[in-house]
Amino acid sequence: MEVLYQNLLNLDWRMIVMWAIGGILIWLAIKKDMEPTLLLPMGFGAILVNLPLSGAVSHYLSDGSLDGEAGPLSVLYDAGIANELFPLILFIGIGAMIDFGPLLSNPVLMLFGAAAQFGIFFTLCTASMFFDLKDAASIAVIGAADGPTSIVVGQKLQSGYIGAIMVAAYSYMALVPIIQPPIIKLLTTKKERMIRMEYTQKPVSKTTRILFPICITIIAGLIAPASVALVGFLMFGNLIRECGVMDSLSETAQKVLANLVTIFLGITIASQMQADKFLQLNTLLILGLGLVAFIFDTAGGVIFAKILNLFLKKKINPMIGAAGISAFPMSGRVVHKMALKEDPTNFILMQATGVNVSGQIASVIAGGLILSFFLH
């Protein structure tokens, strides 16, 4: 009889708090349809690893040796996240999903992607007031709005807060439709939000589409060698898509591969959400700093567009600057919806998507620059 309730005595109030957090993530995924592919496994995993003496994760004795058998989620963590394999493989899928066409057709849009990385560097300075520089840099990359980049940078810089960073990165990506609109509205007038932008689709040759990912990999590799795996895997996925002779592999990378990795990524991230590690004021601080990064990324893109408008004859709708935050394809859609709300006949989806895609490249480069600064 004792066997039935013995483990209940190991229950801690913090575990119950983590069940509630897991429940909220599952609710957001199912009810609010926010990044369900990640938030649902993370939410379920948060409950799974916070059961007393959970067999899903490894437990260690006070001398650091393994207590019993290794838990499967800890094994997955060591095999796929500690060595950055899962996020990199996911990048092949993401690269295969991205159509650089709108960006190649209007290369000027790339500037907005660069401007919208401001939040990363602003948060680096802000986080350095609380954490040492390597942890501050890892926290700042939450602003890349790109989970794989956050994981790779955090792991390479050996941050002690990788669990909170991963959760913040993916949660805020899911919350882009809630975070960005008020910031954009605060920084723009109704008149600015109604600016129409002509879109002329210039033809982009197949050769350009094929050479683009190869050249980007070489440039990024020469300038920020530490980020070459990130850029390289993203661009490899895109090359598979654009080469035209690997359609079946491209489809597999976009769907099956990306889905498989995502399932394991989400639930493996949850292995870092054990109550004793996660329920600290530091975690709350990191979540707050992640929000700062997203806010200043959005502001950076919008304000950059407004500055450009001071010099341009044909005005730019400053909202497209906000799409440079990466978070592909959500932030592009958010901006497009906001423009439609102001004027149902104003379509800026193509421009917003172009900026959004440039944000994806810029965020990886920003991660690479951060690594170049601090990886010694």
Partner 1 sequence: MYLTAAFEPMNFVDNLRYMGLGMLGIFAVIGVIMLLTVVLNAVTKPKDDRDDKKQ
Among the listed residues 101, 113, 181, 329, the single contact to partner 1 using CB under 8 A: 113
With respect to partner 1, which residue has the nearer C-beta, 30 or 108?
A: 108
With respect to partner 1, which residue has the nearer C-beta, 76 or 327?
A: 327
Asked whether position 186 contacts partner 1 by CB under 8 A, the answer is no
Question: What distances in angstroms separate CA 312 from CA 111, 298, 305, 316, one per listed residue?
Answer: 15, 21, 10, 8
Among the listed residues 168, 279, 292, 371, the single contact to partner 1 using CB under 8 A: 279
d(CA 189, CA 244): 44
CB atoms within 10 A of CB 7: 12
Of the ranges 59-67, 151-159, 263-271, 281-289, which one interacts with partner 1 (CB under 8 A)?
281-289
Asked whether position 108 contacts partner 1 by CB under 8 A, the answer is yes
- Locate 236 and state its tokens: 């490899």
Q: HEC string of 281-326? A: HHHHHHHHHHHHHHHHHHHHHHHHHHHHHCCCCCCCCHHHHHHHHC
Asked whether position 287 contacts partner 1 by CB under 8 A, the answer is no
**Least CB distance to partner 1 at residue 103 (A):** 8
- Locate 128 and state its tokens: 């350095």
Among the listed residues 194, 228, 285, 287, the single contact to partner 1 using CB under 8 A: 285
**Least CB distance to partner 1 at residue 70 (A):** 28
Query: Per-residue contact track with partner 1, 26 to 65, x per CB under 8 A?
Result: ----------------------------------------
With respect to partner 1, which residue has the nearer C-beta, 94 or 174?
A: 94
Task: With H, G, I as helix, E, B as strand and everything else as coil, classify residue 331.
Answer: helix
Q: Residues 290, 291, 295, 301: what is their CA dihedral angle, to the nearest 10 degrees?
A: 30
The answer to whether 238 touches 96, Cβ cutoff 8 Å, is: yes
**Least CB distance to partner 1 at residue 305 (A):** 15
Element (H, E) at 252: helix 247-252
Among the listed residues 47, 104, 151, 350, the single contact to partner 1 using CB under 8 A: 104
Q: Which of residues 136-155 bind partner 1 (CB under 8 A)?
A: 136
Q: How many residues bind partner 1 (CB under 8 A)?
A: 49
Asked whether position 358 contacts partner 1 by CB under 8 A, the answer is yes
Q: Which of residues 115-134 bind partner 1 (CB under 8 A)?
A: 117-118, 120-122, 124-126, 128-131, 133
With respect to partner 1, which residue has the nearer C-beta, 204 or 260?
A: 204
Contacts of 242 (CB under 8 A, 6+ apart): 206, 209, 210, 212, 213
Task: With H, G, I as helix, E, B as strand and everything else as coil, classify residue 43.
Answer: helix
Query: Per-residue contact track with partner 1, 197 to 236, x per CB under 8 A?
Result: -----xxxx-xx--xx--xx--xx--xx------------
Asked whether position 114 contacts partner 1 by CB under 8 A, the answer is yes
Residue 66 CA, distance from chain mean position: 33
Asked whether position 366 contacts partner 1 by CB under 8 A, the answer is yes
Asked whether position 298 contacts partner 1 by CB under 8 A, the answer is no
**Per-position b or e across 266-301, b if 16+ CB within 10 A of its CB:** bbbbbbbbbbebbbeebbebbbebbbbbbbbbbbbb
- The residues with which 59 forms a beta bridge, in sequence order, are 67
The footprint of partner 1 (CB under 8 A) covers: 103-104, 107-108, 110-111, 113-114, 117-118, 120-122, 124-126, 128-131, 133, 136, 202-205, 207-208, 211-212, 215-216, 219-220, 223-224, 279-282, 285, 358, 361-362, 365-366, 369-370, 373
